[in-house]
Amino acid sequence: MNVLAPQSSFSNTPVALSPSAIVSIDLQIRSYIIDIGAAFLGDPQLYSNLPHASSVVIVSNTTVAPLYAQPLQSALQARYAKVHSVVLPDGEEFKTWQTLNLIFDALLQHGCDRKTILFALGGGVVGDMTGFAAASYMRGVPFVQVPTTLLAQVDSSVGGKTGINHPLGKNMIGAFYQPLKVVCDLDTLKTLPMRELSAGLAEVIKYGPIADLVFLDWIEANMDALMARDGPTLAHAVKRSCEIKAWVVGQDERESGLRAILNFGHTFGHAIEAGLGYGMWLHGEAVGCGMVMAAHLSQRLGLIDAAYVARLTQLIQRAGLPVVGPVLDEADNAGRYLDLMRVDKKAEGGEIKFVVVDGAGSAALRGAPDALVREVIDGCCV
Amino acid sequence: MNVLAPQSSFSNTPVALSPSAIVSIDLQIRSYIIDIGAAFLGDPQLYSNLPHASSVVIVSNTTVAPLYAQPLQSALQARYAKVHSVVLPDGEEFKTWQTLNLIFDALLQHGCDRKTILFALGGGVVGDMTGFAAASYMRGVPFVQVPTTLLAQVDSSVGGKTGINHPLGKNMIGAFYQPLKVVCDLDTLKTLPMRELSAGLAEVIKYGPIADLVFLDWIEANMDALMARDGPTLAHAVKRSCEIKAWVVGQDERESGLRAILNFGHTFGHAIEAGLGYGMWLHGEAVGCGMVMAAHLSQRLGLIDAAYVARLTQLIQRAGLPVVGPVLDEADNAGRYLDLMRVDKKAEGGEIKFVVVDGAGSAALRGAPDALVREVIDGCCV
């Protein structure tokens, strides 16, 4: 599978986002837009084209709600008579059925019906859980993504993957379910803890090696500005990331092929998250380290050279991300990684499929001998 | 909404089903067929066109598995290397997240992947839960319905409604998710308890008043043969019911309009089930009684006369179904019914929508004043 993105159709020139940028996701009747801009979340204009409903519900968490629920609520009250809210505990370890059920309880207690719109205000966990709640409540109600973390803005809020974790595997239970729209307010990135900014940068970096070497160059040149949260630089990173994701998802909504490349670094990363226990490392941290491992695997498969591995590793490190994997089992660390990776959703008949990259900015899905994978893990963990 | 089924395109002449009848559900890329016949479940031929997979899983319950899991397993072993099984507790009261999770646990423990096919072997509860598990496991794996009750064969296995109950409402959490195919083995109806045969007949009767008065005449003329489980008569009842359901679902897969007519009797029925506690009355029993109530409401709205109400009531009674509603609250019975019905999925902005029928064999969705509904409930409950 050779999957070069049509780079010529996109711009890598940073643009000041004033007042807004729009990226479209083309999925026929499920198409929608991503609005990207500053001071957006509390602007009633952003919600003026949404369908009518007798009530809407803001789903957020204990960290984000105190910061941003009020402006969103005010904006929605201009259009909807009843604006309820649900505040979930914060953290990947709460991405469970029990927490999801808090949303269902609230929807039923408030008498929400099939037209009620859910608003996911928060990071990836809030977005994934709210999306799955929307997919499942009364067999499907509409929802809107209002991502407040870099990771959610560049990745998890776009493309309709929703779900919760199972003790035996990450995101094992969920649905492909598209939002009505995505509203990315860049101002929310100002309050993001540094660790979460780094985690988001992992997903930004990802788009370079899998689809766009020009963007990879741009990220390298602008990493200091990104880490310093320079507004226009972050704006371009969000826009370009969304463009690439939209391009991939538009071709393969349900991950029957191409879309799997977006999981570069995720197979190793999911093993780290599950092995340490959800919430120990942030998802983006595990993906950052996972990309280093996937790069080493790509090298051992003869797809890239050592210099390219070093280049990616250095960039990931500059983003403040871990580049050395944790030891998950003192006795047989590689064996533990392999066991955890065998329940990955990309696996088939017990064979793990890895996203590997070549030097030309494209990625593919491949199996690899256990012995080779063991060498990679042994070389990448301390 | 006037929704007469194109009666001329269907046959109400009973036919001996030898070797099989096929009803098609036309849903574009999600189209599938219902195979109806005797000695079917253990016939490898029925499964020979299914996709390849490294493993499949039979989901059944403690009542059905001892009777029919073995022949199905043997038939599937002819095609699939690994045939696992999951046996759930039997009953509507187990249609919960906890039971659903038993399926996820088994799928993950067996290392099932995105190509694993689930087989729902049992009645409506097994079918609804297996379907929702299939919709949600790894965001969607294929599944096949093998209904073993009359109710499941004529209604719940067809059309893709899947889900579980919430303490505050029936089928509140679920998905629209279509099976690869439906295999109706009429022989399984021989072992069905009498009470469950009656419950299935409630859904058969339903198709008459909402869509096909010729079929209603036929059911009246053949009720004794149906209660005596005459093979060709049951075969025709299943086939004609599936034809009508296929016609409705083919026009409105996600219940944005027409499909709601299939819920004739269900609004009152769901209140009975929730009010008594799931499992006290069978779903079909509650629907039977609910149709009597919905007929009375239709009469009070001026749509049908008393003679038609009496005709439907008598037919429902002949099927061995309750025609008098239970008292759910000694202090304010009608108020309790109304509260329970307000969380019905057809409700909008707190207004309950009822499926009402006219005398011409068609149905529509309508609101009704609380006072009128109270009169109906007071007149129908003891």
Q: What is the pLDDT along chain B (382 residues), one digit of tens a residue?
A: 334 444 444 555 544 444 478 999 988 888 999 999 998 999 999 999 999 999 999 999 999 999 999 999 999 999 999 999 999 999 999 999 999 999 999 999 999 999 999 999 999 999 999 999 999 999 999 999 999 999 999 999 999 999 999 988 889 999 999 999 999 999 999 999 999 999 999 999 999 999 999 999 999 999 999 999 999 999 999 999 999 999 999 999 988 889 999 999 999 999 999 999 988 999 999 999 999 999 999 999 999 999 999 999 999 999 999 999 999 999 999 999 999 999 888 888 889 999 999 999 999 999 999 999 999 999 999 8
Instruction: Please give the helix or strand (H or E) that residue A248 lies within, else none.
Output: helix A231-251
CATH C-level class of B19-191: alpha beta
Please, where in chain B does CATH 3.40.50.1970 lie? 19-191
The three-class DSSP label of residue A213 is helix
- Which residues 214-273 of chain B have a CB within 8 Å of chain A? 254-255
| Residue from the list A108, A114, A140 with its beta carbon closest to the beta carbon of B169 | A108
Interface check B195 vs A, CB under 8 A: no
Q: Provide the pLDDT for residue B20.
A: 73
Question: Chain B partners of A176 at a C-beta cutoff of 8 Å?
Answer: 139-140
Residue intervals of chain A classified under CATH 3.40.50.1970 are: 7-191
Of the pLDDT bands very low, low, confident and very high (cuts 50, 70, 90), residue A170 is confident
- Angle of CA points B196, B202, B208, to nearest 5°: 150
Task: List phi, psi (to 5°) of B121.
Answer: -110, 100
Q: Under CATH, which number does the domain B194-380 receive? A: 1.20.1090.10
Count of all residues that appear for chain A in the document: 382
Q: Is A367 on the interface with B (CB under 8 A)?
A: no
CATH class (in words) of the domain with range A7-191 = alpha beta
In angstroms, the separation between the Cα of residue A134 and the nearest Cα of chain B is 10
Residue B240 designated active-site: no
A264-382: CATH, from 1.20.1090.10, 3.30.1050.10, 3.30.1950.10, 3.10.20.30: 1.20.1090.10
pLDDT at position B110? 94
Q: CATH 1.20.1090.10 region(s) of chain B?
A: 194-380
Residue identified by tokens 């941003």 is: A68
The CATH 1.20.1090.10 portion of chain A extends over 264-382
Q: What integer pLDDT is reported at residue B15 of this predicted model?
A: 47
Q: What's the length of chain B? A: 382
- What is the pTM for the complete model shown? 0.92
Residue-wise pLDDT tens digits, A184-212: 999 999 999 999 999 999 999 999 999 99
Separation between Cα atoms, residue A130 and residue A114, nearest integer Å? 15
Complex-level ipTM:
0.90
Q: What was the pLDDT predicted at B5?
A: 46
Percent of chain A with pLDDT over 90: 86
**H helices of chain B, where?**
65-77, 97-109, 124-136, 150-151, 194-211, 213-227, 231-251, 266-276, 283-300, 306-318, 333-341, 370-380
Query: Is the CB of A166 less than 8 angstroms away from the CB of B104?
Result: yes
Does residue B351 belong to the interface with chain A, where contact is any CB pair within 8 Å? no
